[in-house]
Structure 1
């Protein structure tokens, strides 16, 4: 089924009905929120509080066990002081509900949750100085270390071996790289995939394992002002890419996404690494693989966006936001080479630690 056919398309009156029937709340304000392939609504009930009604697309709604675990993880993190959303139980005490609707493609089943609304602005919209980048690195490492303590009978569903967005799936990009035919960047992307296979894969047994958030990006992190010129992290969103992985993967993904909107992308790695290592110092194998893992995530982002645009040309503008800027960054990182980039990142991290 195409993404278009699985994406929900609920009306305001259907949203009002769901909120009343499942949660006993009277929606006084309903506002659509942006989403890639689900449907999200801001809901303010007359009884008080602010929520996000999240209606999953019908394809992902089939992964009930995975979504249940993501929802439990968010609650677990919230209980331990991290700013994650939590799910409001239905009147019958469930954290989610499977609902049938016809959104124009016949009756389908959509998974519905009512999540707490977190205030703040996305990090993508602010200029990130070293202080907030340090905090982002620290928060990413904290999240992964806290998730290590979570006990749940179903955690094995997060293995997700063939999940294309896992950093262990870089070799799978070879199946998609043809979408770059004729693009000069294809040569760099093939080069990165090869380096991943030769340099990173043999080191996987030396990386320390954890559960990854997997999408610690500048649109999934909310901040609010903290004094005249500082910000603090006020929200961590979107746990849909959670999977078993390695600590170093989370760090690489975080650095890559924090580079996207930065006016000085090379200066991002140092503060993020310093913040990360204040919680979880890297071992030698992890440190030695960081450069290739950051480049690998850029390649994933670009190739998979290009591939999806071929499937959904109407979404090109949205899909290519990250990757257009990312291409310039990838080119620059490749050009400078591993030794020079690592020197910039690790020296800067060292200096920040000494302040």
Structure 2
């Protein structure tokens, strides 16, 4: 994929959105992203890799526009409408057809950058605000529909059974045994859950690098969730489980952390008893999912040492949770639930 220079990117921004300012390149795994600083605010020009389909990017944009309308208290990335009235442009760039869009830049620091610098007394407030933000995310996407949301996404927990063959390649025997046990339990319940647990369109990736924190009068608070590239249709519960999974890895007391996240979430988006009873199972499943995906990636790119670096926290938390009562996290909430 030919590189797009900052000057060329700024020309696109000017031609199609009349946005002018100082431009800089943003890091991206496969796309070309640029931050444009203007007196009216900052923007991100996103030039997608040719492998991205228009339908997938249309899904992301329409989800963000829906959230901006339904949950205005949060600072979602705002989709900018081009001069021709469209929110997603198909352009020929360097002889390739590319999908191009413009979003507002969401200021703040990532959850990962903030959490480890906080005093113990400040952490529960941030945990609860994380839960509240993800609860608003779930609530805002309630009844949201889009044909591309039904795509077969590797990170959809519904597709966890497809990774079973990676079990044999997990290098740590103890971890392999835990993953096998949790995988068997999760996959065995899938047919039952399909008939009992609500399904919706999810963000599916509220990890500690996609959650943006700002400072307000009560201290650091989550005010945005970004990066909608992993969206899919799955169990509604999964977004909460994913947020808990990443937040817990920063804590000496992961159960207390998860309870604070859940408390914040439920204040915005109540869940069924059936969902709360499966929360810990879903958290464990997400951890297993991460282990299996990293194992596959490491097999495919054995010379990349960075693939397994993030697995230290994942595997440590997996070992901790595997030995706990299945309602260690949700127990207090189940006691007060009457549905």
Runs of 5+ unmatched residues, structure 1: 1-5
The TM-score with structure 2 as length reference comes to 0.87
Q: What TM-score, normalized by structure 1, do the two folds share?
A: 0.84
1:344–1:299 Cα change, 3 Å: closer
Which residue, out of 316, 319, 327, partners 1:328? 316
Q: Distance in 2 between matches of 1:168 and 1:230?
A: 37
1:331 is displaced (CA, Å) by 1.3
Residues 302 and 9 of structure 1: is their aligned pair in 2 closer, same or farther, counting only changes over 3 Å? farther
Within the candidate set 240, 252, 273, 2:262 is matched to 273
**CA spacing shift, 1:15–1:270, aligned 2, 3 Å:** same
Partner of 1:222, secondary structure, is strand
**Mean Cα displacement is larger for which, 239-248 or 274-283?**
274-283
TM-aligned CA distance change 1:83 to 1:26, over 3 Å: closer
Is the Cα contact below 8 Å between 1:119 and 1:235 reproduced in 2? no
CA offset at residue 253 of structure 1? 1.1
**Number of residue pairs aligned between Structure 1 and Structure 2:** 329
How far the C-alpha of 1:49 sits from its partner, in A, is 2.4
- Map 1:229-308 onto structure 2 (within 5 A): 230-308=219-297
Query: Structure 1 residue 313: deviation in Å?
Result: 5.4
Distance 2:336 2:313 in 1: 27
CA gap of 1:258–1:201, structure 2 versus 1, over 3 A, is: farther
2: CA distance between counterparts of 1:178 and 1:109? 41
For 2:83, the equivalent position in structure 1 comes to: 91
Deviation at 1:315, TM superposition (A): 5.5
Match of 2:29 in 1: 36
2:106 corresponds to 1:113: no
Q: Does structure 2 conserve the Cα–Cα contact (< 8 Å) formed by 1:253 and 1:294?
A: yes
- For the 8 Å contact 2:111–2:209, the answer to whether it is kept is yes
Tell me if structure 2 keeps the 8 A contact 1:252–1:293: yes
| Matching of residue 75 in structure 1 with residue 69 in structure 2 | no
Deviation at 1:216, TM superposition (A): 1.1
Instruction: State the superposition RMSD in angstroms.
Output: 2.6
* Paired position in structure 2 for 1:193: 183
Divergent runs of 4+, >6 A: 350-353
SS at the partner of 1:126? Answer: helix
- CA pair 177-98 structure 1, distance change in 2 beyond 3 A: farther
Gaps of 5+ in 2: 116-121
